[in-house]
Amino acid sequence: MKDTARTMIMNDELADAIAKRLGDLLREARLNKKLSQHRLSDQVEINTSYYSLIENGEVNLTVRKLMCICAGLGIRPDVIMRGLVDSLETSEIPKQIH
């Protein structure tokens, strides 16, 4: 396998791991606020099925959408991003950035 292809695969795996962890962090925040996916998605005007995909790490979340969800949760986006950075630093997510 060429280095370029290997790097692309590793970057895809890293992106998938980050999306999954981001979804986990959003789920944790939502549950801490005692909100259902349906209620939160209604609040932030996101389709419930789409929001479920976000929490399952199956969607490439935009910054705009992240800000909207955080507003619905009553938390600042940097709280979620700090959790993501902490995950990177504690090796919960592979550190294979190329």
What CATH number did the domain enclosing 35 receive? 1.10.260.40
Give the distance from CA 3 to its chain's centroid.
28
Residue 41 lies in a domain: yes
Residue 96 lies in a domain: no
Q: Specify the pLDDT at position 20.
A: 93
Task: Please compute the mean of the pLDDT values over residues 4-16 and round it to a whole number.
Answer: 70
Q: Specify the pLDDT at position 88.
A: 77
- This prediction's pTM: 0.83
pLDDT digits (tens, 9 = 90+) for 53-80: 999 999 989 999 999 999 999 999 999 9
Q: Specify the pLDDT at position 2.
A: 61
How many independent structural domains does the chain possess? 1
Domain range enclosing 63: 3-89
Task: Please compute the mean of the pLDDT values over residues 22-30 and round it to a whole number.
Answer: 97
